[in-house]
Amino acid sequence: MKGRIPSIILLTVLLMITGCTNSTGQQSRIAEKRSKPLVYASIYPMYDFAKNIGGDRIDLRMVVPVGAEPHDWEPTAKLIVALEEADVFIYNGVGMEPWADNLIASLNGNGPLVVEASKGIQLLKHGNIGNSQHNHGHVSVGYDPHVWLDPTRAEKQAENIMHALIKADGGNEAFYKLNFQEFTGKLRNLDSLYSETLSRLDKREIVVTHAAFGYLADRYGLEQISVSGLNPQEEPSAAQLAALTDLLREKRIGYIFFETLTNPKLATVLADEVGAKTEVLNPIGGLTRQQLDEGLDYISVMQQNLETLERVLGQ
Ligand SMILES: [Zn+2]
C-alpha cells in the first residue's frame, strides 16, 4: 500500500498541469465553473443556428427576449454583466445590434469569445425601390443587416458560429462539425426548393413593410419594394407614401406583406388604398412565444414564407 499516496499526488499534479486540456487533448476556453460553454446569441436566427450546431453540449441563451422586435432593442445593465461572463457571444453584426457594438468596445478584449456571424460574407448595400432615399434606424454602416434570409449566406453564418464553438470547446469538435454538416444539408435543400419554386413564377415584386428581404430577393431574383426602410419603426413621410401608392398602382400590386412582430396598420391602410390584399412574410428577426411553442424554427418559417410567396406570386 506504500506506493498509493504518491500516485494520488502524481495524478493531482498531472491534473493541475493539464488543467485546461480535456481527455481528447483539445484546448478549452470554458470558464472552470461550467461543464459546458455558456453561449449567448443576440437575436433569434443566431440562436437557431447555434442550437443546430451546439445541441445539448452548449448552454445556449438568447439575448433579445422572445417576442420582442429586435430593432432598437436595448439590454439592461444586468444582462450586460451576464454577457461579459459568458464563454461565447454570437451576434449578426452589420449594425443589426447597435448595443452589441457598444458592448464589444467596452470588453477591451476581455470577456467572451465574440463571433460576428456575418464576417466574410458578401453584403448588400442599402437601397430599396419605393423608398431609396429613406433614412434608417440601424447604425449607419451602409449595408443591409438581414443576412440570414438568404440560406446560402445563412450557411456561412452557421459556419462562422461552428468555428467559434470549436475554438471555445475543442473537445466537442467532431460533434459540432457533424451537426453543422447536417444543418448545411437542410439549408441547401431549402435553397434548392426556393430556386425551383420561385423560378417557375412570373411575378417578381414583393411589397414588404420593412426592407428585410434584400438578401432573399438578391438570391432568387425578386424585386423588393419596401414601405419603410431597414427598420420597421420608421414611418414613411406623406410624400413618400403618395409616391409609393402611385408605384403600387402602376405595377398592379395585388398583395402587401406585413410581419408578425410589428403593427400591420400601415400595410393594411396602404393595401386598402391600392386595392391589394395583405399576407404575412416573416423576416425571422424574432419569433413569438406561440411560434416557438408550435415548434417553428428558422427552416420551417422559411418554408412557410416560400409557400406564401408561391401563393402570392403565382397568381
Ligand atoms: Zn429588420
pLDDT of residue 133: 35
Would you say 93 and 46 are in contact if contact means Cβ atoms under 8 Å apart? Answer: no
Report the alpha-carbon distance of residue 253 to residue 271 in Å, rounded.
9
Given a cut of 90, whether residue 195 has pLDDT beyond it is yes
Given a cut of 70, whether residue 221 has pLDDT beyond it is yes
Q: How far is the CA of 253 from the centre of ligand 1 (A)?
A: 22
Over residues 71-84, mean pLDDT: 90
Q: How far is the CA of 219 from the centre of ligand 1 (A)?
A: 17
Q: How far is the CA of 212 from the centre of ligand 1 (A)?
A: 5
pLDDT of residue 228: 80
DSSP, collapsed to helix, strand or coil, labels residue 142 as coil
Predicted confidence band of residue 301 (pLDDT cuts 50, 70, 90): very high
pLDDT of residue 3: 47
Q: How far is the CA of 110 from the centre of ligand 1 (A)?
A: 30
The average confidence (pLDDT) of the chain is 87
pLDDT of residue 262: 80
Q: What is the pLDDT of residues 247-289, one digit of tens each?
A: 999 999 999 999 888 888 888 989 999 999 999 999 999 999 9
* CA-closest candidate to residue 267, choices 245, 284, 288, 252: 245
Q: How far is the CA of 315 from the centre of ligand 1 (A)?
A: 27
pLDDT of residue 297: 98
Q: What is the pLDDT of residues 100-134, one digit of tens each?
A: 988 998 888 789 999 999 999 999 987 543 333 33
Q: Which CATH class is domain 30-117+124-187?
A: alpha beta
Residues 6+ apart with CB under 8 A from 283: 146, 149, 210, 212, 213, 259
Q: How far is the CA of 281 from the centre of ligand 1 (A)?
A: 12
Q: How far is the CA of 9 from the centre of ligand 1 (A)?
A: 58
pLDDT of residue 69: 86
Which DSSP category does 73 fall into? -
pLDDT of residue 115: 97
Q: How far is the CA of 34 from the centre of ligand 1 (A)?
A: 35
Q: What is the pLDDT of residues 128-182, one digit of tens each?
A: 433 333 334 444 458 999 999 999 999 999 999 999 999 999 999 999 999 999 9
201-313 shares the fold of 30-117+124-187: yes
Q: How far is the CA of 15 from the centre of ligand 1 (A)?
A: 49
Given a cut of 70, whether residue 96 has pLDDT beyond it is yes
Q: How far is the CA of 285 from the centre of ligand 1 (A)?
A: 7
C-alpha cell at 19: 488543467
pLDDT of residue 204: 94
Q: How far is the CA of 216 from the centre of ligand 1 (A)?
A: 13
pLDDT of residue 237: 85
- Encode 208-242: b = buried (16+ Cβ within 10 Å), e = exposed: bbbbbbbbbbbbbebebbbbbbbbbebebeeebbe
Given a cut of 70, whether residue 232 has pLDDT beyond it is yes
Q: How far is the CA of 305 from the centre of ligand 1 (A)?
A: 16
Architecture of the domain whose range is 201-313: 3-Layer(aba) Sandwich (3.40)
The least confident of 19-23, 93-97, 207-211, 230-234 is: 19-23
Q: How far is the CA of 102 from the centre of ligand 1 (A)?
A: 19
* Percentages of the chain per state (helix, strand, coil), in multiples of 5: 45, 10, 40
Higher pLDDT pick, 91 / 266: 91
Over residues 51-60, mean pLDDT: 98
Q: How far is the CA of 284 from the centre of ligand 1 (A)?
A: 9
Q: How far is the CA of 3 from the centre of ligand 1 (A)?
A: 67
Q: How far is the CA of 170 from the centre of ligand 1 (A)?
A: 34
Ordered by start, the domain boundaries in the chain are 30-117+124-187, 201-313
pLDDT of residue 9: 54
The cell 415548434 sits on which residue? 295
Given a cut of 50, whether residue 214 has pLDDT beyond it is yes
Given a cut of 70, whether residue 201 has pLDDT beyond it is yes
Q: How far is the CA of 190 from the centre of ligand 1 (A)?
A: 21
Q: How far is the CA of 229 from the centre of ligand 1 (A)?
A: 9
